[in-house]
């Protein structure tokens, strides 16, 4: 069986060496030693000043909306994983969808201003497949209208734009450390931000609002990362360069083998140092996509339709049809991509695709 992705597992003995510290300390959760070490290593790796690790990648989005006091409408993208929209709704705000760029697949920044009104409090958008939004254009718009900016950077671990970490843009960036991601802690995530003054607010929001053992700063929830998760992250992080290098070679093979087809491919924004996180291909229509998916599935090859459906079709949002997002969502497919897929497996996938186009 060939799945769309495969979790990278570090050598078990290396994980066990790190994990032994948990047993030695007798400290499983509540901000133990390993979580703090992981945060310091991630700050260095990502070149960011502040990071708070959390137990998954959705809670940072929810906490960001809550801690910034956002209300009313939040401009967002319909082409993303459901967590970006569901977090907005969960926190009592209304998502306002702005259609995407047909090549970059990120929000079309030229359409954002038309969606802004007196109820707009923020822009929450996704760097799609590790491809950055127009962060400079969005920053100009946010500054003009006094809006907060939150980036869902779940796909962006290790991505840089103009030699700056993609996590250094916006008021807050969030990330997922789910098992399917390049860097993972099994299940986990993080909130990244520049402003040191935010730290205490974000920290207490992720820790029940605690101010010591017997007092509270304010409202909070439980989003703390465990020591077991942090141990996995510390075991995986040293392998990031080799993981990305391997994926670069795999992407190059796909590029070479698919170059003579009529498929469309993701266009990376200029000045982006990409992380090779996904390999999306866009068919001319959904019928063609379904034909190829059926052929691949019949021989136990399972690509995935990221992102389908377009989020403007969710049952709990107002009808706001986004033409380009719906067209892309219906015709885009991510091919299997992971650190040890073989060239022979890739060739088999490509041959099946070509045979059914």
Q: With 0-12 CB in 10 A as exposed, 13-18 as middle and 19+ as buried, what is 183?
A: buried
The mean of the pLDDT values for the chain is 97
Q: In angstroms, rounded to a whole number, what is the distance separating the alpha carbons of residues 14 and 234?
A: 10
Q: With 0-12 CB in 10 A as exposed, 13-18 as middle and 19+ as buried, what is 102?
A: middle
Q: With 0-12 CB in 10 A as exposed, 13-18 as middle and 19+ as buried, what is 318?
A: exposed
Residue 213, pLDDT score: 85
109-122 pLDDT per residue, tens: 999 999 999 999 99
Residue 339, pLDDT score: 94
CATH no. for 2-97+106-238: 3.40.640.10
Q: In the numeric block, which tokens belong to residue 281?
A: 């291909």
Determine the average pLDDT of the residues in 256-281. 97
Q: With 0-12 CB in 10 A as exposed, 13-18 as middle and 19+ as buried, what is 188?
A: buried
Which ranges of the chain does DSSP label H, i.e. alpha helix? Answer: 12-25, 33-46, 59-67, 82-90, 135-145, 199-205, 227-236, 240-258, 286-297, 323-331, 343-356
Q: For the chain, give the percent of residues with pLDDT over 70.
A: 100
pLDDT band for position 209 (cuts 50, 70, 90): confident
Determine the average pLDDT of the residues in 334-338. 98
Backbone angles phi, psi at 115, to 5 degrees: -95, -5
Going from N- to C-terminal start, the domains of the chain cover 2-97+106-238, 239-356
Residues 6+ apart with CB under 8 A from 300: 1, 2
214-265 pLDDT per residue, tens: 888 998 999 999 999 999 999 999 999 999 999 999 999 999 999 999 999 9
Residue 215, pLDDT score: 86
87-113 pLDDT per residue, tens: 999 999 999 999 999 999 999 999 999
Determine the average pLDDT of the residues in 30-55. 97
Q: In angstroms, rounded to a whole number, what is the distance separating the alpha carbons of residues 113 and 121?
A: 13
Q: In angstroms, rounded to a whole number, what is the distance separating the alpha carbons of residues 341 and 349?
A: 11
CATH no. for 239-356: 3.90.1150.10
């Amino acid at each position: 069986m060939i799945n769309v992705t495969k979790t990278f597992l570090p050598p078990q003995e290396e994980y066990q060496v790190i994990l032994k510290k948990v047993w030695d300390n007798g400290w499983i959760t509540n901000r133990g030693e390993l979580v703090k070490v992981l945060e310091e290593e991630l700050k260095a790796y990502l070149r960011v000043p502040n990071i708070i690790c959390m137990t998954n990648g959705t809670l940072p989005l929810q906490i960001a909306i809550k801690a910034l006091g956002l209300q009313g409408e939040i401009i967002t993208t319909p082409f993303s994983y459901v967590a970006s929209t569901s977090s907005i709704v969960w926190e009592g705000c209304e998502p306002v969808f702005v259609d995407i760029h047909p090549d970059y697949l990120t929000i079309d920044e030229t359409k954002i201003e038309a969606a802004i009104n007196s109820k707009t409090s923020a822009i929450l958008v996704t760097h799609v497949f590790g491809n950055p939004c127009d962060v400079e254009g969005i920053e100009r718009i946010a500054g003009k209208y006094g809006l907060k900016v939150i980036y869902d950077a779940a796909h962006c671990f290790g991505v840089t734009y103009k030699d700056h970490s993609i996590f250094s843009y916006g008021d807050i960036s969030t990330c997922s450390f789910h098992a399917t991601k390049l860097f993972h802690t099994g299940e986990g995530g993080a909130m990244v931000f520049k402003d040191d003054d935010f730290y205490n607010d974000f920290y207490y929001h992720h820790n029940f609002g605690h101010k010591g053992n017997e007092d509270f700063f304010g409202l909070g929830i439980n989003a703390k990362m465990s020591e077991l998760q942090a141990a996995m992250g510390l075991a995986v992080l040293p392998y990031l360069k080799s993981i990305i290098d391997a994926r670069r070679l795999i992407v190059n093979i796909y590029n070479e083998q698919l170059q003579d087809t009529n498929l469309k491919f993701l266009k990376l924004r200029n000045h982006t140092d990409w992380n090779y996180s996904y390999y999306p291909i866009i068919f001319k229509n959904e019928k063609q996509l379904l034909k190829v998916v059926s052929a691949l599935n019949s021989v136990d090859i399972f690509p995935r339709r990221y992102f389908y459906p377009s989020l403007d079709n969710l049952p709990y949002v107002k009808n706001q049809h986004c033409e380009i997002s719906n067209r892309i969502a219906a015709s885009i497919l991510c091919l299997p991509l992971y650190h040890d897929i073989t060239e022979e497996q890739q060739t088999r996938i490509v041959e099946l695709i070509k045979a059914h186009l």
